[in-house]
Amino acid sequence: MLFQVASLPSLLLLGLASGTTRAATTAAGTIRTVYKFQDTPYTAIENVGVRSNGDLILNTITAPKVYTLNPTASSPSPSLLYEFPGATSVLGIAQPSPDLFAVVVGNYSTATFQGIPGSFSVWTLDFTELPVKVNKVTSIPQAHALNGMATLPGSLTTVLVADSSLGAVFSVNIQDGAHKQVMQNEVFEPTSSFPLGINGIHTSGNTLFYTNSAAGTFGSIPIASDGTSAGSAKAIASAPSEDTYDDFALTSGRDAFVATHQTSLFEVDPDGTQRMVINSPQLNNPTSLVFANGINTACVVYVVTAGEAESNGTAAVSGGVYAVTVC
Ligand SMILES: *[C@@H]1O[C@H](CO)[C@@H](O)[C@H](O)[C@H]1NC(C)=O
Ligand SMILES: *[C@@H]1O[C@H](CO)[C@@H](O)[C@H](O)[C@H]1NC(C)=O
């Protein structure tokens, strides 16, 4: 998660000239608004999942709500799926088996951009039978700021969750609720000036990829079958100056498309080469993305945005869902 922070300078375009975009012969970098929230007070979308039928699952951080949205409808409009009790926000999402999702629920302070320790829990959204079943898996009292979520390779029942404040990763068994901290690493930690360390996490093979928003890094670490580390972390890329990495999506070739504040999407190759796919004011604080239909070779991604909170007399702007071509 990441809100616009007043102290973050606006995006500097210097150094991000046209040479950093994909080849002009492709259609990469076009953007289309799928849906933009217009409600008051504003709605910030924090993360997104994709069902097997192509519908999107939208988690909001400004309310404890999950919506579903058919992005290919002629006039896409979200339906409220569930409102979680006793929390302010819904954050990370992972899909350990087809149409079974796990989500992070908890409290984030919009004043400090920090999680409230002791407020976090993991829930499941089960679309395999309708009506959808929503179940609380477990509270995670020791967590401080749960954020991104990933599947554990080889497991249909365990997910990994990043803690942006502790610089840690927890494993959570969604069947029996068993959970524990499996990693803590200085490369995951926040900085003294920015409270969000490890943010997005995704796995491919036996590798966990992560962004650290505060450190401005994208990296990887080998993991064992229980989610503990099996080697040293490797830095792959750094966010361009003045930009901030948020959550991301991986292709089958382990290219990462990274939602990057304040208004862009970057593609990072496994060797660390990165290029800007798009920089558009429509992508107002992009927070995460999924490939269309969940197919990681798709040329369309759906990027969700937080918009911006009211600040210093400027009205709030809600987030939305945007279709961006990436190849
Ligand atoms: C989280 O927020 C909800 C809704 O405002 C509140 O009822 C609950 O007490 C909070 N939990 C913690 C641990 O602060
Ligand atoms: C708020 O806006 C006013 C008028 O544009 C400006 O002078 C002031 O520096 C701003 N304050 C902050 C904290 O950004």
Three-state SS for the chain is CCCCCCCCCCCCCCCCCHHHCCCCCCCCCCEEEEEECCCCCCCCEEEEEECCCCCEEEEECCCCEEEEECCCCCCCCCEEEEECCCCCEEEEEEEEECCEEEEEEECEECCCCEECCCCCEEEEEECCCCCCEEEEEEECCCCCCEEEEEECCCCCCEEEEEECCCCEEEEEECCCCCEEEEEECHHHCCCCCCCCCEEEEEEECCEEEEEECCCCEEEEEEECCCCCECCCCEEEEECCCCCEEEEEEECCCCCEEEEEECCEEEEECCCCCEEEEEECCCCCCEEEEEEHHHCCCCCEEEEEECCECCECCECCECCEEEEEECC
**Backbone torsions φ then ψ of 141, nearest 5 degrees:** -60, -25
Compute the half-sphere exposure of residue 130: CA atoms within 13 Å on the CB side of its CA.
Answer: 1
Alpha carbon of 240 to ligand 2 centroid (Å):
26
- Single pTM value for the model: 0.91
Name the band, by pLDDT with cuts 50, 70 and 90, for residue 8: very low
The pLDDT value recorded for residue 27 is 76
Alpha-carbon span 106 to 85, nearest angstrom: 10
Task: Say if ligand 1 is within 6 A of residue 116 CB.
Answer: yes
Show the tokens assigned to 269.
Answer: 């190759």
Alpha carbon of 312 to ligand 2 centroid (Å):
6
The pLDDT value recorded for residue 143 is 98
Name the band, by pLDDT with cuts 50, 70 and 90, for residue 2: low
Number of residues that make up the chain: 327
Query: Does residue 111 surpass a pLDDT of 70?
Result: no
Residue nearest to atom 3 of ligand 2 (CA): 312
Task: Say if ligand 1 is within 6 A of residue 238 CB.
Answer: no
Between the CA atoms of 37, 42, 43 and 44, what dihedral angle is there, to the nearest 10 degrees? Answer: 110
Which residues approach ligand 2 with their CB closer than 6 A?
Answer: 6, 312
Name the band, by pLDDT with cuts 50, 70 and 90, for residue 26: low
Best substitution site from 5, 10, 312, 314 to test ligand 2's pocket, by max atoms within 8 Å of Cβ? 312
- What is the position in ligand 2's atom list of the atom closest to the CA of 6? 14
Segment 257-291, tens digit of pLDDT: 999 999 999 999 999 999 999 999 999 999 999 99
The pLDDT value recorded for residue 59 is 98
What mean pLDDT do residues 105-122 have? 91
Residues 6+ apart with CB under 8 A from 41: 62, 316
Q: Which domains does the chain have, with CATH numbers?
A: 26-325 (2.120.10.30)
- What is the position in ligand 1's atom list of the atom closest to the CA of 107? 1
Task: Say if ligand 1 is within 6 A of residue 107 CB.
Answer: yes
Segment 159-174, tens digit of pLDDT: 999 999 999 999 999 9
Query: Does residue 87 surpass a pLDDT of 90?
Result: yes
Task: Say if ligand 1 is within 6 A of residue 87 CB.
Answer: yes
